[in-house]
Each structure stands twice: as structure tokens, then as C-alpha cells.
Amino acid sequence: MGHKNKLPDVFNTEQLVKLFDAIDQPKVAIAVAVTFYCGLRISEICNLKIEHVDLTARKIKIVDAKNSRRFATGYGNDRYVPLPPHMISPIKKWLEIIQGGVWFLPSDKSPDTHIRKKSLHEQFRQVLKKAALLLPLYEIDFAQRNHGIMVSKHKTIHKYHYHTLRHAYATYLCEKGVDIYTISHLLGHKDVTTTQIYARMSDQQKTKAVELAFDTPLRSQVLPAQTRTMEDRMLEIKRLELEVKKMELMRSGGLAFSP
């Protein structure tokens, strides 16, 4: 059952800082950094090859990515994602540490294979816990077949998880004024309607728009002088009353003016 109107949770800036401060493993640090600053899926960062990281052109190539019609076409989507300038130096240092090979994130067990999604999920979960961001939302019970026998399972659903980094990337770009079509291409979405959820999530952008619309108090748009005191306004009323009395006296002939 779909949840088209459900908005995913995202990390705010303060939480992202806490998150990075909580990471003490270089591999997890570079994985999280590239994932956030490039808006990758966990499968994309795990399958990233060193040959697809172009530090000169400051971009990475995502090969054979998610495709809703994959079973029909037999292949995913390729795309290029820009690398922010401040990511170049950390990536260079990381490549010096792993000293070649094929995979950008080699497995701890064998450099000939890449890190598993499950392993990265578990390591990131520990980071969330350390940063006090492993926040439970609700509990679910379900049945799962194990060696032909249905076994009852219990699972805690948490507010944040690895994919939250991708949500945070898209929301951050949206709040910085990047248009929705550019964000859609960066994320590798086939349909821009998939990306429009981030426009709905961008509370900061909405807040700025409202603040800009109402940046001037309504009263100041009516009164010519915003800084007038109560005494000033009372004096102005008195002057108006005097002018009215003068006009009444002139009409009645009570005042004579010399040429």
C-alpha cells in the first residue's frame, strides 16, 4: 500500500554535524560524506568503482542504477553527479588509504569485493545511536518463513536511516533554490513528480516566501511615516481641526485677509 502523501524525515544542519562528529571509522565517514554530498542510494555508494570517480572533472559516474523497468530493459540508469569542491581532498586521502583496487568501498573481508549494503546499514545504525539520533517511531510484528517454517518477528521502525542522507541532500538543494528538474536529474529520477515531494518538504523555502511577502507591516504600508509617535499623531489631528475651523470662519466672513 503506497503512502504518496507521507513526507520522509530529513536531517537538519545541526543533526548532520552531530552525525559526522559521531563517526570514528574512515570508511563509514567517506561513505556517508559522498552519499550526502552526491545524493546517492546505498546501493550506488556500495557499488561505486574507483574508475568512476573523476577528481579532475569533479564528478562521479553512477552506473546501472535503479530503474523501475529494469526487468523489461535488463539495465538500470547511468548518470553523472557533481562532486562539491570540498570533497576532493577527503576523497584523495581515502584513495591513498585503500591503495588501488576496483571498489571505492572495498569489503573488510576481501578487497576484491565491495562493502555489503547490510554491513553499511549496520555501521550507520551505530553512528545514529552514538549521535543520539536512533529514534524509534513504532513497532511492527510480522511473520517470516525460515527453513519452511513461519516464524513470528518483531521489528522497530526508526525515524532516521541511511536513505535519510539522500532525502537530506534533495531537501537541502531545494532550500538553496535549485530547481526541481535539476534535482530530479541529480537523483536519477525517471519522473519529476517523484522529486516534487522535496518541494513540499522544503519548509525553509516556504517560510522565506511568506516572510518576503509580509516583510513590511501592514500598518506601515498605509501610514506615510512608520516612526511617528503618538504625540506626533495627536498634533497632526489638532492641526487638522484648526484648519477646519479656519475654513468655517472664512465661509462665515469671520476672518478678513489683507491683499
| Band of pLDDT at residue 1, cut at 50, 70 and 90 | very low
Residue 124's CB: how many other CB atoms inside 10 A? Answer: 23
Domain of 156 in residue numbering reads as 13-208
Q: Is residue 258 part of a domain?
A: no
Mean pLDDT of the chain: 82
| Band of pLDDT at residue 124, cut at 50, 70 and 90 | very high
Q: What is the pLDDT of residues 71-93, one digit of tens each?
A: 555 556 899 999 999 999 999 99
Q: What is the DSSP letter of 115?
A: P
Do 195 and 245 lie in a common domain? no
Do 231 and 163 lie in a common domain? no
Q: Which residues contact 188 (CB under 8 A, 6 or more apart)?
A: 62, 65, 66, 77, 79
Mean of the pLDDT values across residues 207-211? 69
Mean of the pLDDT values across residues 138-163? 84
Do 192 and 228 lie in a common domain? no
Do 29 and 95 lie in a common domain? yes
Mean of the pLDDT values across residues 131-160? 85
Do 78 and 100 lie in a common domain? yes
Do 224 and 202 lie in a common domain? no
Give pLDDT, residue 137: 87
d(CA 216, CA 210): 11
Q: What is the pLDDT of residues 20-32, one digit of tens each?
A: 999 999 999 999 9
Q: Which helix (H) or strand (E) holds 151?
A: strand 149-158
Give pLDDT, residue 255: 45
More confidently predicted of 147 and 123: 123
End-to-end CA distance of the chain, in Å? 92
Please count the structural domains in the chain. Answer: 2
Give pLDDT, residue 57: 96
pLDDT at residue 211 tops 90 = no
Do 192 and 84 lie in a common domain? yes
Query: Could you give the residue ranges of the DSSP H alpha helices within the chain?
Result: 13-22, 26-38, 42-46, 70-73, 88-98, 117-130, 164-175, 180-187, 192-201, 203-213, 218-222, 230-252
